[in-house]
Amino acid sequence: MLDLTHERERMVERQVARRGVKNSYVLEAMRAVPRERFVPEGLREFAYEDTPLPIEAGQTISQPYIVGLMIEAADVRPGDNVLEVGAGSGYAAAVMSRIADRVYAIERHDELSRLAGARMRRLGYDNVQIRTGDGTQGWPEAAPFDVILVAAGGPAIPQPVKEQLDIGGRLVMPVGTSQREQRLVKVTRHDATHFEEEDLGGVTFVPLIGEHGWSEEACRPAEPRSLKSPAPTRSTPELIRAAAEPLPELDEPAFGALSDRFGEARVVLLGEASHGTSEFYRARAAITRRLIERHGFTIVAVEADWPDAASLDRYVRDRRAPDHAEPAFRRFPTWMWRNTDVEAFIESLRAWNLNRRLEERTGFYGLDLYNLSASIRAVLDYLDKVDPEAARVARERYGCLTPWAKEPQAYGRMALTHGYAQCEAGVVKMLRELMENRLQYFGTDGDQFLDASANARLVKNAEAYYRVMYYGSAKSWNLRDTHMFETLCAILEAKGPNAKAVVWAHNSHIGDASKTEMGLVREELNLGQLCRERFGKGAALIGFGTHSGTVACADNWDEPMQVKRVTPSRPDSYERLAHDSHGNRFLLDLREGMHEELRRRLLEPRLERFIGVIYRPETERWSHYSACSLPQQFDAYVWFDETTAVTPLPTTVRQGAEETYPFGL
Ligand code: SAM
């Protein structure tokens, strides 16, 4: 059976306690109740995500934080007699049952109340009783209650329920005249007639349907508003339409001109909303060419492994390949770099470079850290040439990792079992000594030294990355993004004080994480954020998005590439706002001072879609959407309403290819 104790701990700490829930009864109870047992089987892996989830009968289990917040607000105490209206999955009732004496819960869907009852029995929570019925009538036989929690939004507090509150009792319920948005209200009963009300803030709950709530009729989707009734203000899609700068066709040279406003930046980071969309690659290629040709950028650094990108770099700068250079990008996900769009870009970069002196040519570099074995080999090859004694020491130190180099995850598992970082000291020393000898080595060839030191950095950081991979995602994510940032800085430094870089990485790496849920709740930092911190306005962060189309992706890691349809974006997402503006292809300038009204509207967090190499449309909301604040993440946003999958390169050797052609097999 899945052990999610660690995830549960983390959820309580980050999503609940850190947002201000302090009551130790609530935190302890949430630590004790296995939330994964209250969601449908297929969604268990998402049980500890910071979001509500769908349950049977088309209902939802509330976001963990909201459950914690409501129970704390209701001040549930040992000895209490509690009523919950809207038991849903039974999770909130289960949490309260770990604190109170008795919990009565009512659910209008029989299917749900049966499932919730069965869960309580299996968990041995025998102080909870659940029944099917209209909770707006309360549970008179078990009244009075010290606490009443209503977990669905109604137009007002149902009178019978209010009357079942004991003197001194607390009731918490979402109340609102709109069925979509409510205020969370706390009522304390001081005596027979005196009820004090407190507003706890805005929330969104499913409707409370019953005699003293909404009628079922009223909950049917409303008819579209009559065309005659005037809109109160301009809608957000209308504001987007007004602010959108339409973009020319991708093949037109003018496409890249959108980036002229960032020509003075030190680093321009270009995102993508998937790892397999042709338009994102082609747009980034056009923008990058413009930045190189008009604004003096000479570094292209991408979310790819250093040694693989290095073979493309040798081709674009027409440098000699080392004796045993291997073809690049042969490991999963191959289509991410072995595709026709990247090939066309690489050819254009080479054509540009061949007309320039070596030192003026633009290089192509990898920021990622997965190809441990190729990096080890590259460091050894380099030292063999420049310092054979250091090469001997390096062989010994890297020997510790060699058995794991092809499958480094196994090293992580081993380190976890044995509880120590066997290979850490050696790889750290290796990088340090290489850097200490930089003056001696650098004299031989600056590019080769940069290559060797980047590989040594990759080995050091990859050792740590695979070791912490098993401790949860934030730590390894942070290590990886910090590695990317360090590598980018090392390239900039090696190329001199005026060097400028274009970075290609996924939106999740380049959209500033510090002010979104990613940073605030999950403690994840990223490359975009680190660049902003280091370069201030000298870093331009450009995100990309799409509504629908096709995408190259896989079902699972290491599985074959497929072309899947991208589900049209969700109604509550940024993507849908952009889609509803009816623009096919445009840029939104999101910098402060631009389109203030729109910016203010977009600041409010919404869902944003992130498709990686894996795409699971079946569980799209939980696998691919996360709450963000678009204008805080990006300085600009490039939109393609409909997009197409990349075309992977053929797996046969190209006839008549250059000897140095990097996409060989
Ligand atoms: N607290 C629940 C949990 O932890 O899973 C989530 C509750 S869900 C947001 C709201 C529930 O209220 C739905 O399951 C819905 O069917 C139920 N509901 C709505 N009106 C009701 C009523 N009049 N009586 C009982 N249940 C009702």
Residue with tokens 């669905």: 152
Q: Judge whether residue 234 has pLDDT over 90.
A: no
Kindly list the structural domains of the chain, giving each domain's residue range(s) and its CATH number in brackets, ordered by start. Answer: 4-203 (3.40.50.150), 241-372+473-643 (3.40.1660.10)
Ligand 1: centre distance to CA 135 (Å)? 9
Percent of the chain with pLDDT over 70: 92
Report the interhelical angle of 306-316 vs 446-468 (nearest 10°): 160
**Structure confidence at residue 442 as a pLDDT band (50, 70, 90):** low
What's the rounded Cα separation, in Å, for the pair 252 and 428? 48
In this prediction, residue 621 carries a pLDDT of 87
Q: Judge whether residue 380 has pLDDT over 60.
A: yes
Task: Give 232 or 82, the one with higher predicted confidence.
Answer: 82
**CB-based contacts of 447, cutoff 8 Å, min separation 6:** 319, 363
**CB-based contacts of 579, cutoff 8 Å, min separation 6:** 547, 568, 569, 641
Please state whether beta strands 267-270 and 363-368 pair in parallel, antiparallel, or not at all (unpaired).
unpaired
Give the residues surrounding ligand 1 with Cβ less than 6 Å away: 59-62, 67, 85-86, 88-89, 91-92, 106-109, 112, 134-136, 151-152, 205-206, 208-210, 213
Q: Residue 15 carries which DSSP code?
A: I
pLDDT tens track for 307-331: 999 999 999 999 877 666 667 888 8
**Structure confidence at residue 441 as a pLDDT band (50, 70, 90):** confident
User: Which H or E run includes 539?
Assistant: strand 539-553
Q: Judge whether residue 414 has pLDDT over 80.
A: no
What's the rounded Cα separation, in Å, for the pair 114 and 122? 12
pLDDT tens track for 578-631: 999 999 999 999 999 889 899 989 988 889 999 999 999 998 988 899 888 999
Chain centroid to CA 22: how far? 27
What's the rounded Cα separation, in Å, for the pair 612 and 608? 13
Please state whether beta strands 363-368 and 539-553 pair in parallel, antiparallel, or not at all (unpaired).
unpaired
In this prediction, residue 52 carries a pLDDT of 83
Q: Judge whether residue 82 has pLDDT over 90.
A: yes
Which atom in ligand 1 lies closest to the alpha carbon of residue 136? 23
Q: Is 459 in contact with 379 (CB distance < 8 Å)?
A: yes
Q: Judge whether residue 443 has pLDDT over 60.
A: yes
Q: Judge whether residue 131 has pLDDT over 60.
A: yes
Mean pLDDT of 75-101: 97
Ligand 1: centre distance to CA 299 (Å)? 56
Ligand 1 pocket test target in 39, 71, 131, 209 with most atoms within 8 Å of CB: 209
Active site positions, annotated: 62
In this prediction, residue 524 carries a pLDDT of 87
Mean pLDDT of 472-483: 85
Ligand 1: centre distance to CA 137 (Å)? 14
Q: How far, in Å, are 69, 238, 308, 321 from residue 653 at the CA level?
A: 61, 50, 18, 18
Q: Judge whether residue 183 has pLDDT over 90.
A: no
In this prediction, residue 662 carries a pLDDT of 64
DSSP-derived 3-state class of residue 319:
coil
**Structure confidence at residue 2 as a pLDDT band (50, 70, 90):** low
Nearest CA to ligand 1 atom 14: 88
Tokens representing residue 540 in the block: 């331009």
Nearest CA to ligand 1 atom 12: 86
What's the rounded Cα separation, in Å, for the pair 205 and 445? 64
Task: Give 205 or 180, the one with higher predicted confidence.
Answer: 205
Of 138-147, 301-310, 314-323, 492-501, which range is least confident? 314-323
Report the interhelical angle of 446-468 vs 408-418 (nearest 10°): 50
Mean pLDDT of 9-35: 93
Q: Judge whether residue 658 has pLDDT over 80.
A: no
Q: Judge whether residue 526 has pLDDT over 70.
A: yes
Nearest CA to ligand 1 atom 17: 86
Ligand 1: centre distance to CA 16 (Å)? 21
Q: Which of these, 549, 566, 559, lies nearest to 625 by C-alpha position?
A: 566
Please state whether beta strands 128-132 and 102-107 pair in parallel, antiparallel, or not at all (unpaired).
parallel
- ∠ CA 636-637-641, nearest 5°, is 160
What's the rounded Cα separation, in Å, for the pair 208 and 264? 55
Half-sphere exposure of 135 (CA within 13 A, CB side): 29
In this prediction, residue 226 carries a pLDDT of 40
Ligand 1 pocket test target in 107, 115, 179 with most atoms within 8 Å of CB: 107
Of 45-59, 102-116, 555-569, which range is least confident? 45-59
In this prediction, residue 230 carries a pLDDT of 44
Q: Judge whether residue 563 has pLDDT over 50.
A: yes
Mean pLDDT taken over the chain: 89
Q: Judge whether residue 635 has pLDDT over 90.
A: yes
Which atom in ligand 1 lies closest to the alpha carbon of residue 38? 5
Query: What single-letter amino acid sits at 233?
Result: T
**Cis omega (within 30 of 0) on the bond before 333?**
yes
**CB-based contacts of 400, cutoff 8 Å, min separation 6:** 422, 423, 426
Q: Judge whether residue 164 has pLDDT over 70.
A: yes
Could you tell me how many residues make up the chain? 665
Q: Is 579 in contact with 641 (CB distance < 8 Å)?
A: yes
In this prediction, residue 633 carries a pLDDT of 96
In this prediction, residue 575 carries a pLDDT of 97
Ligand 1 pocket test target in 38, 39, 84, 85 with most atoms within 8 Å of CB: 85
In this prediction, residue 408 carries a pLDDT of 79
Ligand 1: centre distance to CA 133 (Å)? 11
In this prediction, residue 203 carries a pLDDT of 78
Ligand 1: centre distance to CA 136 (Å)? 11
What's the rounded Cα separation, in Å, for the pair 125 and 529? 45
Nearest CA to ligand 1 atom 7: 88
What's the rounded Cα separation, in Å, for the pair 114 and 104? 14
In this prediction, residue 574 carries a pLDDT of 96
Task: Give 121 or 205, the one with higher predicted confidence.
Answer: 121
Instruction: Output the 3-class SS for 35-75.
Output: HHHHCCHHHHHHCCCCCCEECHHHCEECCHHHHHHHHHHHC
Q: What is the pTM of this model?
A: 0.72
Nearest CA to ligand 1 atom 11: 86
